[in-house]
Amino acid sequence: MTRPDILVVLADDLGYSDLGCYGGEIDTPHLDALARDGVRMSSFYNTARCSPSRASLLTGRDPHGTGIGILTDDQRPHGYPGSLDPAVPTIAEHLAATGYRTCLSGKWHLSADTATPNDTWPTRRGFDEFYGILGGADDYFHPRGLFHGEQRQEIPGEGYYVTDAVSDHAAEFVRTAGDDPFLLYLAYTAPHWPLHAPEEVVRRYEERYLAGWDALRERRLTRLRAAGLLGDEAPLSPRDPREQAWDDTGDKEWQARRMAVYAAQVEIMDAGIGRVVSALRESGRLENTLIVFLADNGGCAEELPPPDAPHFRTRQPSHTPDGRPMQLGNEPAIVPGPADTFASYRRAWANLSNTPFRHYKRWVHEGGIATPMIVHWPGGDLADGTVRGAPFQLVDVAPTLAEAAGAEPVESRGVSMLDTWRGGEPPADRALCWEHIGNGAIRVGALKLVRLAGGDWELYDLDHDRSELHDLAADRPDDVARLAARWQDWAGGAGVLPWPLSTPRKDR
């Protein structure tokens, strides 16, 4: 077979159940179509946070050993460097050496220095083309940190929207790709805060979310079960105890507005993916393109301004480019969506995004690390709408892409998923491991050992309790000890630093 083109699409802060094909009420027809004609994974995992997930995705390594243990702060000598180690090859470098053209359109977030071009920038890590942002988040309408190649761009004017721009850049790359195979990494900032979206899209969702988070969580679970993604092993976890029932919540219209903007951001991302798929189809490349879609962590419960980042407010622009004061924060007086606001949708809606699971981005319980994964490759025998339940994680992506491309294997503890996607048996007795800011977990088969930073280990049988509601640790101390020892062995080899770090981490 001719070497396939490869399109990897990464959403930012998208919950497990936000897409239509994963039970959500957001309109995502293009991703739903890829799912109908491809494969969905019900137990694929990321690494709980933006930068570590990107590091693992691109290298096939655990993030700590790549230089990215938390985010992109340089915390040396007591912490992680905060930049992707040039000595650790990326899948872009690996495939470029075999003749692939490469492009990143979207978000990088793997360099501590985003002002001066250096060896950690995407243009020097295997990507022939780069259009997007180097940092973790930016204004959607007027991004201040926009680059093309290594050249900072002027702040865009009216009519610009970064999700559309990176989608269109990706589609143009497809149209002008030539005869060589390509790797296109389309890394959206959507739907990461700030809540920014065109008003005409937001309006379509405001009434939909007046149903409230309680009713919508129940509806999502019903659809997840009907789709065969989850079963009775995954009951609906209780609403986050820190949040009110929807019926008792004040400011319902403002609350609905927050989720409506988030939904609009997801819909616009989906439409952009549709334009890239159309470019593939029109160029005759779709049949032999491996498309992989996933998210970098679970839904995000972060407050704005973040209480653990006291200088966050002073680092944001005080005014829009046309001089309007910027309204930063989560309060009913600030109606999110327009360019002069900077807000997030926060915990109750993130709880909906992660239906039916507990916890959020940053945590390694299922709500923080379970992601939708859609795989589409008609020419690679992936075209029947199957759901695969075998557990895999981000270290497995690069080995899979290398095998699909007919390249030499990458250095990784990960394994290729190709055979399992096609119906083969997954590896037995394999350990999937996580650590992020002291939160730790290991999954072997159906058993998952997990803990909050500074807390005791919890043990769950995911075949019967995917929602992690019934802790078995006290009843099965031998399993706890066995898995904890295995996790510790992994942590020592992966370069995990003790938490908390010896010195406080820098402000984000």
Q: What is the DSSP string of 205-216?
A: HHTGGGGHHHHH
Q: Chain centroid to CA 342: how far? A: 21
Q: Which two tokens stand for residue 508?
A: 């984000």
> What SS3 state is found at 101?
strand
> What SS3 state is found at 85?
coil
Q: Which residues are bridge partners to 443 per DSSP?
A: 432, 448
Question: How does DSSP classify residue 377?
Answer: B
Residues 317-347 as b/e (b if ≥16 CB within 10 A, e otherwise) read eeebbeeeebebebeeebbbbbbbbbbbbbb
> What SS3 state is found at 183?
strand
Query: Residue 229 is which amino acid?
Result: L
CA–CA distance, 192 with 203 (Å, rounded to integer)? 19
63 close to 47: Cβ distance less than 8 angstroms? yes
Find where tokens 């989906």 sit: 270
Task: Choose among 410, 417, 415, 416: nearest CA to 91.
Answer: 410
Residues 95-111 as b/e (b if ≥16 CB within 10 A, e otherwise) read bbeeebbbbbbbbbbbb
Q: Which two tokens stand for residue 198?
A: 């065109």
Residue 213: Cβ-neighbour burial (10 angstroms; 0-12, 13-18, 19+): buried
482 close to 462: Cβ distance less than 8 angstroms? no
Which listed residue (30, 64, 94, 109) is catalytic? 109
Task: Choose among 50, 191, 186: nearest CA to 130.
Answer: 186
Residue 483 CB partners (closer than 8 Å, separation 6+): 442, 444, 447, 449, 457, 459
Residue 109 among the catalytic residues: yes
Task: Choose among 101, 103, 71, 89: nearest CA to 182.
Answer: 101
Residue 50 among the catalytic residues: yes
Helices 50-59 & 397-404 angle (0-180, nearest 10): 30
Q: Which two tokens stand for residue 269?
A: 């991302």
Which listed residue (21, 50, 300, 433) is catalytic? 50
300 close to 13: Cβ distance less than 8 angstroms? yes
Q: Which two tokens stand for residue 388?
A: 């695969």
Residue 438: Cβ-neighbour burial (10 angstroms; 0-12, 13-18, 19+): middle
Catalytic residue ranges = 50, 109
